Every structure is written in C-alpha cells, then in structure tokens.
C-alpha cells in the first residue's frame, strides 16, 4: 500500500515542480504569432559518465543527451526581441529542434510581455511526465477495488 501512495506523491511532486511550464504551455495557445529568424545556434549536448552503467544493463557506457539551443530574433510593434525558448518542456522535447542560422520561423509571443516567446507552443511531455505515476496509481487502486 505504501508504494502506490509514494508513486502518487512522486507524480504530484513532479507536476508541482513543472507548474510554471504547464501554465506557460497552456497560455501559449492564446499567444499571438509573428515571423522570426534564427540568429544563433549551438549544440548544448552533454554526456553523463556512468549513468548508463548504474542499471547494470549498458555496461558502463556513457549516456549522451542531445540538445540544441537556438536564439531567434522577432519584431513586435516595431521593437526587436531575442529569445531562445524552443518549448515548455524537458530537454528531450528540445532534442529534435535543429535550425540553420537564417531560417525563418514562426514565433509565438505573449502579447502582454512580448519578450516572452516560444517556437513550439503548448505543453510538452517533459512538463507533464508526473501524470504517468499518478495514472499508474489510479489504475492500481481501481483494479484492487474491483477484486
């Protein structure tokens, strides 16, 4: 009984930690859009040694996390803004975002604070991962009540 409760608490804790990303992700659906341009691009990939071997399944092979960061320029009401937010989610949600410098992109920006912008609006999986432990717990309790 303690494991399902701990799993539920863990999921709730994850959602609590990501509450700002969830709020921004939901709000971004109502944001205005404009054209922007990629002005800088860098590879922020990183390797963590030993993590792959901690489970005993990868034989100690270092694990590489791929992440690309892009800075884009856009204009709102004649004023230029620069931002580097790709999406409101975890690093895995940004891993596939590869743009060349000079690429034209659609930028979604907060009309109340035009300096707040994103290239991929909405809530991404990394921000709501806490739902999975909660769902598992609910499924467990529903199944145990049925028997």
Q: Average pLDDT per run of 10 along the chain, which is 147 residues long?
A: 85 87 91 95 66 50 65 96 85 61 93 94 80 86 78
What H or E segment, with its residue span, contains residue 122? strand 120-123
At residue 97, φ and ψ (nearest 5 deg) are -85, 95
Question: Does 17 fall in a domain?
Answer: no
- Measured distance CA(61)–CA(134) in Å, rounded: 32
23 found inside a domain = no
Give every CB contact of residue 126 below 8 A, 6+ residues apart in sequence.
18, 21, 89, 90, 91, 92, 93
Residue 131 lies in a domain: no
Q: Please give the pLDDT value at position 11.
A: 87
* DSSP per-residue letters across 49-87: TTTTTTTSSSTTPPEEE--EEEEEEEEETTEEEEE---E
pLDDT score, position 37: 96
Q: What does the pLDDT read at residue 56?
A: 46
Pairing outcome for strands 63-65 and 79-83: unpaired
Residue 60: inside a domain: yes
Decide if 98 is inside a domain.
Answer: yes
d(CA 140, CA 60): 34
How many distinct structural domains can be found in the chain? 1
| Residue 141 is assigned to a structural domain of this protein | no
Q: Which domain holds residue 66?
A: 31-122
| Total residue count of the chain as it appears in this document | 147
């Amino acid at each position: 009984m303690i494991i399902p409760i701990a799993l539920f608490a863990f999921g709730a804790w994850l959602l609590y930690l990501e509450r700002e990303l969830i709020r921004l992700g939901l709000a971004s659906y109502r944001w205005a859009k404009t054209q922007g341009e990629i002005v800088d691009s860098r590879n922020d990939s990183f390797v963590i040694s030993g993590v792959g071997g901690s489970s005993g399944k990868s034989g100690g092979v270092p694990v590489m996390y791929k992440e690309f960061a892009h800075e884009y320029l856009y204009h709102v009401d004649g004023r230029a803004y620069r931002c580097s937010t790709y999406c409101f989610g975890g690093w895995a949600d940004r891993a596939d975002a590869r743009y060349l410098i000079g690429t034209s992109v659609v930028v979604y920006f907060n009309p109340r604070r035009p300096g707040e912008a994103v290239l991929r609006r909405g809530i991404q999986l990394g921000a709501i991962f806490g739902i999975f432990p909660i769902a598992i717990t609910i499924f467990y309790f529903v199944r145990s009540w049925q028997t």
